[in-house]
Amino acid sequence: MTRASQPHPKNANGKKRSFLLYLTSLALFYPIMRFAGYTIPKKPDYVKITSQLPLTGYLITRDFILFDKGGLCWALSRKCTHLGCRLHYSETRDILECPCHQSQFHASTGNVVKGPATKPLTQFPVEKRENNPYYIVTT
């Protein structure tokens, strides 16, 4: 009576084998797809800024700098496009500077002013609103 409820030993081995085959194919498939240039798209994050910007017209967060100047709003990533260090904003020179290898980026456009970085900064979409949250930045 108990024998009927237990799986046949041959069946159990077949399930184990197919599961291992499944894991092996997954382990091989993903690196091949990465090598071919495929990346899994990241889900966007919506960062809500719940206060008005200071009179300086910019707000520095961990991941981006939000500007609201002259009726325009934009947000630039703080991740250097050279090797990924976190950028600092120099208000007097209106540039973002990298402390690692001294790349500089224009604060209005994110374009490279001085290398070794060659690519411009990532610009994030900003939605300005009348009520709280006053800004929504899509990263």
Which phi-psi region, left, alpha or beta, contains residue 7 (left: φ > 0; alpha: ψ -120 to 50)? Answer: beta
Is residue 117 a contact residue for ligand FES (CB under 6 A)?
yes
> CA-CA distances (angstroms) from residue 114 to 1, 14, 35, 63, 93?
80, 61, 31, 21, 13
Q: Name the one range near ligand FES by CB under 6 A: 23-31, 39-47, 81-89, 127-135.
A: 81-89
What is the rounded distance in angstroms from the CA atom of residue 108 to the CA atom of residue 95? 8
Q: Radius of gyration (Cα) for the chain, nearest Å?
A: 25
Angstrom CA distances, 92 to 46, 85, 107, 118, stand at 30, 21, 11, 23
When asked if residue 85 is in the footprint of ligand FES (CB under 6 A), the reply is: yes
Q: How far is the CB of 121 from ligand FES (least distance, A)?
A: 11
Shortest gap between Cβ of 79 and ligand FES (angstroms)?
Answer: 9
Among 20, 21, 60, 83, binds ligand FES (CB under 6 A): 83
- Binding ligand FES (rule: CB under 6 A), the pick from 116, 120, 136, 139 is 116
The residue within the footprint of ligand FES, chosen from 58, 63, 100, 120 (CB under 6 A), is 100
Task: Please give the residue ranges that form the binding site for ligand FES (CB under 6 A).
Answer: 80, 82-83, 85, 98, 100-101, 103, 116-117
